[in-house]
Amino acid sequence: MSVTRTMSLDAALAKLYEHIDQNFDGYLEDIRTLVRQPSVAAQSWGIHEAAEMVRDMIRELGPKDVRLVEYESGSPVVYGRLDSEDPNAGTLIVYCLYDVQPPEPLEEWNVEPFGADIVDVDGYGPCVVGRGVTNSKGPLVNFFSAVKSMQAVLGYTPINLIFVIEGEEEVGSQNLKRFVPEYADELRVADGVYLPGLRQDENGKPKVLLGNKGIAYFELEIKGGDWGGPRSVDIHGMNGAWVDNPVWRLVHALSTLRTPDGKVRVDGFYDDVLPPGETDTQLLDRLLTTFDTKMFAERADVARFMDGLEGRALMEKFLFTPSFNIDGIYGGYTGPGQKTIVPYRVRVKIDVRMVPQMDGDKIIASVLDHLAKHGYDDVRVTFSEVTPYSKSDPDSDLARAAVAAMDKAGHTNGEIWPIYPGSGPAYLFTNAHLNIPFIAYGLGHGGLIHAPNEYAVVEGLKDNIKSVCATFVEYLRIAEEKRENAG
């Protein structure tokens, strides 16, 4: 079914769609095969087997050198390169993950978590149900399928592809943090990084993500000490009359950090916050017409937003301001029935979502300085993990290609997020190591990510393969226009 390279891009895309329709049953089985292989990084379950399967799937596309980059511990990075026969071809990094979240609680699944069964899901019809089908084995295999379709229809691979597929995204991407600096010289030749995904919401509205907020995640602990409180063992609750309680001390300490309306009191917390630029404002204008805050409030069962904000002020706060969130407090007795104690220690987990140009390590140090200044110098950090923000140029070729593919697919109401409030390892590619744009896009809908009965709509999986091809076609179109303008 090969065609010449003189075929118009629009004609090529039509033939690609036709090829995908004809071969989708086989592509779907490829997805189910990978989903059936457990790969839970948190439990060291099936990781190497899954990495080898991904390596072999890439080898089927033609690269000779695809390997597992191993480290002393943790999951290997699957790394390889597929070169185009076109000497003028651009180069893209394909980043994705093969690890998944644990399937527990097992009793809440309607099917086997790694069975990849096709069942009807209310409101969506036939869906593949299984851990990792949406996040992110379905989109990963679909990318390989898109390349197969392009090779079959075009007769060659039109873009140089560098594959970086990790197996620790769900547990902090520790080995990827080593891999990217070590292989930076080979990676920085790329024009951009593409993360495939199912990015249509339950109403069919897709999104293009151009960046992520960062996160400073840390755990604080207060134990009994010179200030008072039991130092090494819980004591009877009757002693609360004359022995201080670390839980009360933590409550009072936390109350110094933030005002009731959400403003962080830590000195210098907002000093490095970069306000939105002109392009950010333009993308926000579009987002205000496409993102439905009321739908989110209904889905999350939220009665009102903070400060009663709405419209532009609400979205600006969501995208361009940092947040200081308590994820959980634990200490003392929290089980059933009664147990009266004065606990000897208490801990709190906190995440700060960071916007450009905030520094997570600096934030954690500032929090400790603030607490010491208010008389809580006994507070200790027991754990911390910092993931910097990422931000990509919306005028990059890959970003423009993804937006054009979304719009031309009939989704002119699709969302373009200049920075998404979630976090991830994109910064490894957009920061000083490589400084290249990182784009996340793809049609198709899936849900219950990280929860029992994770699903991906079968028809949406087909659309997802088509959206990868459409993005590549638009990327080729932009390169063609540049050559014509230069010539």
**pLDDT score of 3:** 43
pLDDT above 50: residue 2: no
Residue pLDDT, tens place only, 214-265? 999 999 999 999 999 999 999 999 999 999 999 999 999 999 999 988 899 9
Q: What is the pLDDT of residue 433?
A: 82
d(CA 357, CA 268) in angstroms, rounded, equals 13
| Lookup: tokens for 15 | 């033939």
Residue 267 confidence (pLDDT) above 60: yes
pLDDT digits (tens, 9 = 90+) for 140-154: 999 999 999 999 999
What is the distance between the alpha carbons of residues 379 and 388, in angstroms, rounded to a whole number? Answer: 24
User: How confident is the model over 164-170, as a mean pLDDT?
Assistant: 97
Reported as a pLDDT band with limits 50, 70 and 90, residue 5 is: low
CA 51 to chain centre: 20
Q: Has residue 300 got a pLDDT over 90?
A: no
pLDDT category at 180 given cuts 50, 70, 90 is: very high
| pLDDT exceeds cutoff 50 at 412 | yes
Contact of 421 with 319, CB cutoff 8 Å: yes
pLDDT at 6: 57
Say whether 149 sits in a helix, a strand or coil: helix
**Amino acid residing at 475:** Y
Query: Which pLDDT score is estimated for 1?
Result: 36
The string of pLDDT tens digits covering residues 30-46 is 999 999 999 999 999 99
Please compute the mean of the pLDDT values over residues 459-481 and round it to a whole number: 97
pLDDT mean over 8-13: 95
The pTM of the full predicted model, rounded to 2 decimals, is 0.91
Q: Where are the beta strands (DSSP E) in 4-137?
A: 66-69, 77-82, 91-97, 117-121, 125-129
Contact 181, 188 (CB under 8 A): no
194 - beta bridge partners? 94, 439
Mean pLDDT of the chain: 95
pLDDT at 483: 87
Give the Å distances, CA to CA, from 45 to 115, 129, 486.
Answer: 16, 19, 52
Give the per-residue pLDDT at 432: 82
Over residues 54-70, mean pLDDT: 95
User: What pLDDT score does 349 carry?
Assistant: 97
- 309-328: average pLDDT: 94
Q: What is the mean pLDDT of residues 440-453?
A: 97
pLDDT in tens, 349-408: 999 999 999 999 999 999 999 999 999 999 999 999 999 999 999 999 999 999 999 999
Considering only 123-137, 288-302, 461-475, which range has the smallest mean pLDDT?
A: 288-302
Q: Give the integer Cα–Cα distance in Å for 28 and 306.
A: 43
pLDDT of residue 7: 78
Closest CA to 437 of 199, 149, 90: 90
